[in-house]
């Protein structure tokens, strides 16, 4: 099986993250590394909190780290990343925090050391705008939200 080369990312463990594990892939085929909370916090229904991880990183130029929800937390408890996927830019050097939101009906307690999100290292392609008078034609054209189909039971 083909495996991608790893990209070294310098990581600094902050004092409140000293005894916690570094982000890690749970399985050989995992795209995201599980990251854990460096604090105890309870998130009320409808509330948000920037959960500390106790880590800071120096992402190589040309990459970002995407912060993504954990599917089990989302399905079982309604806990997700509020700005999913969140982006950590290569020039940011502060603490990595995970903005979680509770879409569930009950308060959700996070304990220090709980896995709260996934981190995905991804290459970044920068755009340059090319201003034009007209855009090329496509079959879809200007059809927007729902224009390519939708939920069968709604007849769209």
46 marked as binding residue = no
pLDDT 10s digits, 118-141: 999 999 999 999 999 999 999 888
72 marked as binding residue = yes
87 marked as binding residue = yes
- What sign results for the dihedral spanned by CA atoms 99, 104, 108, 112? negative
| Joined tokens for residue 58 | 């120096």
Give the CA distances from residue 89 to residues 61, 96, 101, 123, 156, in Å, rounded to whole numbers and listed in that order: 9, 11, 21, 11, 39
Whether residue 13 is predicted with pLDDT greater than 80 in this model: the reply is yes
Domains of the chain: 27-123 (2.70.40.10)
Mean local confidence (pLDDT), 17-23:
98
- pLDDT of the residue at 156: 54
The residues, any chain, with a CB within 8 Å of residue 132's CB and separated by 6 or more, are: none
pLDDT 10s digits, 60-118: 999 999 999 999 999 999 999 999 999 999 999 999 999 999 999 999 999 999 999 99
Whether residue 154 is predicted with pLDDT greater than 60 in this model: the reply is yes
Half-sphere exposure of 36 (CA within 13 A, CB side): 19
pLDDT band at 149 (very low <50, low <70, confident <90, very high): confident
Q: pTM to 2 decimals? A: 0.87
148 marked as binding residue = no
155 marked as binding residue = no
């Amino acid at each position: 099986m083909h495996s991608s080369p790893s990209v070294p990312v310098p990581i600094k463990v902050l004092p409140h993250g000293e005894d916690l594990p570094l982000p890690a892939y749970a399985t050989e085929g995992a795209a995201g590394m599980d990251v854990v909370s460096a604090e105890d916090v309870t998130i009320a229904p409808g509330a948000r909190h920037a959960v500390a991880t106790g880590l800071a990183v120096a992402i190589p130029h040309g990459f970002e780290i995407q912060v993504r929800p954990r599917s089990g937390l989302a399905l079982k408890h309604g806990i997700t990343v509020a700005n999913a996927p969140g982006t950590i830019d290569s020039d940011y050097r502060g603490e990595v925090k995970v903005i979680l939101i509770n879409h569930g009906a009950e308060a959700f307690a996070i304990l220090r050391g709980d896995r709260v999100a996934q981190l995905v290292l991804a290459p970044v392609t920068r755009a340059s705008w090319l201003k034009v008078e007209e855009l090329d034609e496509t079959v879809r054209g200007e059809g927007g939200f729902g224009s390519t189909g939708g939920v069968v039971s709604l007849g769209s």
